[in-house]
Amino acid sequence: MGRLLLLGLALVLGFAAPAAADYPDKPVRLIVPFIAGSTPDTAARRIAQRLTVDLGQQVIVENRPGAAGNIGAEVAARAPADGYTLMLIASSHTINPALYSGLKYDIVKDFAPICLLQRGMNLMVVPPALPVKTAQEFIALAKKEPGKLYYASGGNGSPAHLAAEAFRLAAGIDYTHVPYKGAPEIVRALLADQVQAGFPTFDAAYGQAKQGLLRPLAVTGEKRSKVLPDVPTMLEVFGPQKGFVLDGWLGLAAPAGTPVEAIDRIAAAMKKASEDPAFRDGLEGIGNEAVFLGPRAFADMLPGDVRKWDALVKAIGAKLD
């Protein structure tokens, strides 16, 4: 009788989690909480192609866009924790808890981080006609004319809005928010001299900055950009006491409770991919940097990111519902 019970228990446990040697033995779903053709989607498809080769099973991208990534995250959080559902997790998922009340998932508790794969940054740019050449000169002008300078953002709560407000708080200035629909609109408003500053994603403004159509003043990343090495970071502008780092990032996660064997198998495949120059080049693009953080380091990072964005959102009073 005891043997039968033990055999039954072994069978149940065997069906509950994939064995390390057998995983995966069927296709894997990668939920992308953003629209097809977007920058995160492009990265996800590169990741899926690489995982398909390394895992020996097809990794199928499934776009579930909406509500700044919340819809796809809700779907992924409710999926079986068996290693066959993954999610492309983004920095927006650590911003959303501060912006949206009543979320149906907890980005820290409901997910098992697998790896961080890409970092990006925002770029502070101004029109060339504005009589400033540095962030410090912009601050001086804004203090001289409080409330008379305008900055464009991608809308309330967008990364460009939060970066601009972090700059306002650090600089102690007063300028006026003009919301647009996204980074391309921010750039167009700057080119038309409709606003005096903007903090779009790096790739959206790099071309114009390189051509001299816009003047770059600072980046929000932890270190300077490889392609605009003369542009200082916000840490350099304000110093370590007031300076800030606001970076965008992409990685992989799975529903909480996913077997560690599956998590480690995918992380190992992605670590191997991150050491391949062709894969790294495909993820980097303009203003993005291919990186790798494994499951433990990524899990340690997430709560701090949530706290950082929560503090900023509370300081500026942003809310989307």
Q: Which fold has domain 27-120+247-316?
A: D-Maltodextrin-Binding Protein; domain 2 (3.40.190)
pLDDT at 7: 42
Q: Which residues contact 63 (CB under 8 A, 6 or more apart)?
A: 32, 34, 35, 36, 41, 72
As a whole-number percent, the residues of the chain with pLDDT over 70 amount to 93
Q: What is the pLDDT of residues 72-111, one digit of tens each?
A: 999 999 999 999 999 999 999 999 999 998 899 999 999 9
Superfamily of domain 123-242: Periplasmic binding protein-like II (3.40.190.10)
What pLDDT shows up at residue 76?
98
What does the pLDDT look like over 152-199, one tens digit per residue?
A: 999 999 999 999 999 999 999 999 999 998 899 999 999 999 999 999
Task: Report residue 6's pLDDT band, with 50, 70 and 90 as the boundaries.
Answer: very low
pLDDT score for 271: 98
Per-residue pLDDT, averaged over 230-256, amounts to 96
pLDDT at position 11 over 70: no
Is 248's pLDDT higher than 90?
Answer: yes
Q: Are the beta carbons of 3 and 17 closer than 8 angstroms?
A: no
Kindly report the three-state secondary structure assignment for every residue of the chain: CHHHHHHHHHHHHHHHCCCCCCCCCCCEEEEECCCCCCHHHHHHHHHHHHHHHHHCCCEEEEECCCHHHHHHHHHHHHCCCCCCEEEEEECHHHHHHHHCCCCCCCCCCCEEEEEEEEEEEEEEEECCCCCCCCHHHHHHHHHHCCCCCEEEECCCCCHHHHHHHHHHHHHCCCCEEEECCCHHHHHHHHHCCCCCEECCEHHHHHHHHHHCCCEEEEECCCCCCCCCCCCCEHHHHHHHHHCCCCEEEEEEEEECCCCHHHHHHHHHHHHHHHCCHHHHHHHHCCCCEEEEECHHHHHHHHHHHHHHHHHHHHHHCCCCC
Q: Say what the pLDDT of residue 19 is.
A: 46
For residue 320, give the amino acid letter: L
171-176 contacts at long range (C-beta below 8 A, 24 or more positions apart): 171/139, 171/142, 171/238, 172/143, 173/139, 173/142, 173/143, 173/146, 174/142, 174/146, 174/147, 175/142, 175/146, 175/147, 175/148, 175/149, 175/150, 175/151, 176/147, 176/148, 176/149, 176/150, 176/151
Dihedral sign, Cα of residue 125, residue 128, residue 134, residue 135: negative
pLDDT tens by residue, 103-162:
999 999 999 999 999 999 999 999 999 999 999 999 999 999 999 999 999 999 999 999
In whole numbers, what is the pLDDT of the chain averaged over residues? 92
Q: Is the pLDDT score of 291 beyond 60? A: yes
Given this model, what pLDDT does residue 285 score?
77
Question: What is the mean pLDDT of the segment spanning 286-298?
Answer: 93
**How many other CB atoms sit within 10 Å of the CB of residue 38?**
13
Domain(s) labelled CATH 3.40.190.10 in the chain stretch across 123-242
Please, where in the chain does CATH 3.40.190.150 lie? Answer: 27-120+247-316
